[in-house]
Structure 1
Amino acid sequence: MAVRFLAHEVSDLCLGKPALRSLSLTATVADALYALKFSEDNYISVWNCNHAPRFSTLKEKNEVEDDDHVGVNDDDVGCHCVGKVCMVDVICYLCKDDNLLSTSVALKAPVSMLLPKIPGLVMHVEPSSSLLEAIEFILQGAQNLVVPIQTRASRRKQYHQKPSPTNPTIHNGREFCWLTQEDVIRFLISSIGLFSPIPALSIDTLNIISTDVITVDYHSPASDALGAISSSLANQTSVAVVDCYGCLIGEISPSTLACCDETVAAAITTLSSGDLMAYIDCGGPPEDLVKVVKERLQERNLQAMLEQFDVDCSSSFSSSSSSDDESVMTPVSTIMYSRSGRYSRSLSYSARIVRRAEAIVCHPKSSLVAVMIQAITHRVNYVWVIEDDCSLVGIVKLVSMLEVFREHLESMA
């Protein structure tokens, strides 16, 4: 049984995964914003591509392949995933001082402005790579493994479909998907019995609770947490919101922010950390907080952001006010694509899981498997660890769990 498990390749984890929707490196921030608003995924992959094929027609390609008995070399086309962006990248970018004054100019900047400067977050791997290799890549810092899922249909699309500057799925004649820490953990849970007795041990016993956490005070300005939000996004964690006694009240999570729209930049600029939690909760921002944001934007003379905020919030409130009567008879997919802004994203429950601002917590004595299931259920890469009095102990990350399983898998090899 253990031998069969170790024989699994990366391609086994890709079964049923959708092809990546992507964005060209030549696109703008506005292109990325548009793509994210109408995507069923919180992330869009960014590619540096030369889509000009080696052959002018499909017939010419087939003739050469028949003669040479080989396929097209990917290197002849040159297409590579260089990163990923999400709504949090856009929000943090718009919150920068220069961009607050001129949102329209900021949106015209190249999408490369949103890409993190940390190398190796996205890595191409072959379908034949082993499960152990995939785990090792993640432990080395890769957050997304880009894996080809080539089909005959996808090869033909390259020659019959003109590449689009936004959201193409074909690269080098193939479609790709990506694997994450969550995918690997989910796969390990499917065979958790092989790792006994490790899954039953507490996270405290396994020594995987990290005290290296990012915290902000509940009453502090949310703008002070901007750097913390960017860091937590890069590290796939979150920002803990605590009171003066160090008790965990909630969190400002990139997972939650990714389900919002760009108007949250105005909320971060004007609200406290505690109010921001209420603003980004999946029920939509309370009207009194919306009013506060508008008033403070006016006070700070941030006219460009105020105008954008008014436009987006007006369309959102209009959609929200009519949704109660329409949602009974209107398909969710129609709601997602016909309505703009924060509310359309949060209404699309069948297409995405929308996180609340409430933190996902466990106890130091919680078992490893219990915490794994918590993380997978809530689609996060971490779980906060607290004591009975809600004082924050630390955080346990999926990557730390993978280290435990990597050691066990190596002993099985």
Structure 2
Amino acid sequence: MAISFFATEISDLCLGKPPLRSLPTTATVAEAVTSLKQSGEAYVTIWSNNDCICVGKICMVDVIVYLCKEDNLLSPLEAVRANVLDVVSKVNGQIRHLESNSSLLEAIDCILEGAQNLIIPIYTNSIKNQQFCWLTQEDVVRYLLNSIGIFSPLPTYTIEALDIIEKSTLTVNYNDPAITTLPLISCSLLDQTSIGVLNKDNRLIGEISPFTLACCDETVAAAIATLSAGDLMAYIDYSGPSDDLVNLVKTRLHERNLTGMLDLMDEFYNPLSSPSSSCCSSDEESGPTRNGCVGRFYPGRRFEAIVCHPWNSLIAVMVQMIALRVSYAWVVQQDYTLVGIVTYAEILKQFRSIAGARNNSLI
């Protein structure tokens, strides 16, 4: 039964998926930022109109890391006039085009080969107006979870017994300068994981997550350049940075003569500025935050790391990750000593191994 399930056409996973919001390769970084804010989506895709091929994607994390470069901190407004392709990840295979009649097994194989998103055509009556949607790791895991019974007893095994806890993790100390996390932020975005913030006893006290940063605005680059890792966690907290932290960032920017970034900060944290000029829209519930602006509230932005334990079952961890809209969960002991991390990729490997094992048994 599981073999026939893996033969499911991925068009079944695309039902109700909205068409992708896209930008041409000629767009600027500023246009990408505007598109992200207007859509409330985590990513916007970049397309080659001549070939009708998605050449990349961009999120606010890409923009923040880009603005954290020394030259761009000096002149952020000039930096965002650059071509969007200067910011888009150059890693091959992150995005894969698949036909709508491709199988679920093919989709899983693409993900395990490194694809973060799968581009699927949405067929319409007009060839000229061809549209596309995309599938993520979460979409595939959610689909598996809806038919979890056919994979019994796998879902009942603990994540420790399945040996899917990755011991190699991205971590920083609470007091480390946030700027030292830049390479880790880029790596966590690529791996769709997170950066654990630890105390001196190797206990997890929080995280700096690309999922959280993607819900922030570009001024977070100033916070990364001036704060510690611990203060950065508070700065990107779901309720927004405190006035004290904002003032601390501004003071340190002034001390470093980063007037361009100061101007950008003033634009966002001026109580008299309009909400639309400083905050993002979203399909999720919105509400007032500090400085009188309207912020986005959805599971991507939070102040606590998502944790599980080695003795938790696979299905319990899957449900937790799906419910909280994350692609990973930190694995800790009872006292929050860090053990490792569980990712969607490792979970998908377990289901893929079932397909491989049953195929071999038929030979």
**TM-score, normalised relative to structure 2:** 0.92
CA contact (8 A) 1:43 1:86 kept: yes
Pick the aligned partner of 1:80 from 53, 59, 62.
Answer: 53
CA distance in 2: counterparts of 1:374 and 1:312, whole angstroms:
34
Structure 1 residues 84 and 364: alpha-carbon distance in aligned structure 2, compared to 1, 3 A threshold: same
Q: Give the superposition deviation at 1:104.
A: 1.6
CA distance in 2: counterparts of 1:342 and 1:179, whole angstroms:
36
CA distance in 1: counterparts of 2:197 and 2:292, whole angstroms:
23
CA distance in 2: counterparts of 1:3 and 1:251, whole angstroms:
38
CA contact (8 A) 2:98 2:118 kept: yes
Match of 1:218 in 2: 174
Match of 1:362 in 2: 308
Pick the aligned partner of 2:117 from 144, 148, 153.
Answer: 144
Matched, 1:299 2:255: yes
Match of 1:326 in 2: none
Q: Give the superposition deviation at 1:411.
A: 3.3
What is the one-letter code of the residue matched to 1:365?
W
Secondary structure of the residue that 1:384 maps to in structure 2? strand
Pick the aligned partner of 1:276 from 232, 246, 250.
Answer: 232
Secondary structure of the residue that 2:239 maps to in structure 1? coil
CA contact (8 A) 1:316 1:344 kept: no
Structure 2 unaligned segments of length 5 or more: list them. none
Q: Give the superposition deviation at 1:245.
A: 1.0
**Please, what is the CA RMSD of the aligned residues?**
2.3
Match of 1:118 in 2: 91
Q: Give the superposition deviation at 1:316.
A: 8.2
Cα shift readout 1:195-218 (whole Å, capped 9, x = no counterpart): 000000000000000011010110
Q: Give the superposition deviation at 1:355.
A: 2.1
CA distance in 2: counterparts of 1:379 and 1:122, whole angstroms:
20
Structure 1 residues 335 and 306: alpha-carbon distance in aligned structure 2, compared to 1, 3 A threshold: farther
Match of 1:249 in 2: 205
Q: How many residues align?
A: 353
CA distance in 1: counterparts of 2:91 and 2:8, whole angstroms:
30
CA contact (8 A) 1:248 1:392 kept: yes
CA distance in 2: counterparts of 1:332 and 1:126, whole angstroms:
30
CA distance in 2: counterparts of 1:393 and 1:10, whole angstroms:
35
After TM superposition, list the pairs within 5 Å mapping 1:55-74 onto structure 2. Answer: none
Secondary structure of the residue that 2:134 maps to in structure 1? strand
Q: Give the superposition deviation at 1:345.
A: 4.1
Matched, 1:35 2:49: no
CA distance in 2: counterparts of 1:39 and 1:93, whole angstroms:
21
CA distance in 1: counterparts of 2:61 and 2:267, whole angstroms:
20
Identical positions, percent: 53
Larger Rg: 1
Match of 1:168 in 2: none
CA contact (8 A) 1:259 1:345 kept: no
Structure 1 unaligned segments of length 5 or more: list them. 51-77, 159-172, 324-330
Match of 1:108 in 2: 81
What is the one-letter code of the residue matched to 1:222?
A
Give runs of ≥4 in structure 1 deviating > 6 Å: 331-336
CA distance in 2: counterparts of 1:410 and 1:295, whole angstroms:
58
Pick the aligned partner of 1:406 from 344, 352, 359.
Answer: 352
CA distance in 1: counterparts of 2:167 and 2:269, whole angstroms:
39
CA distance in 1: counterparts of 2:216 and 2:272, whole angstroms:
11
Secondary structure of the residue that 1:8 maps to in structure 2? coil
CA distance in 1: counterparts of 2:292 and 2:2, whole angstroms:
46
Match of 1:344 in 2: 294
CA contact (8 A) 1:316 1:343 kept: no
Secondary structure of the residue that 1:179 maps to in structure 2? strand
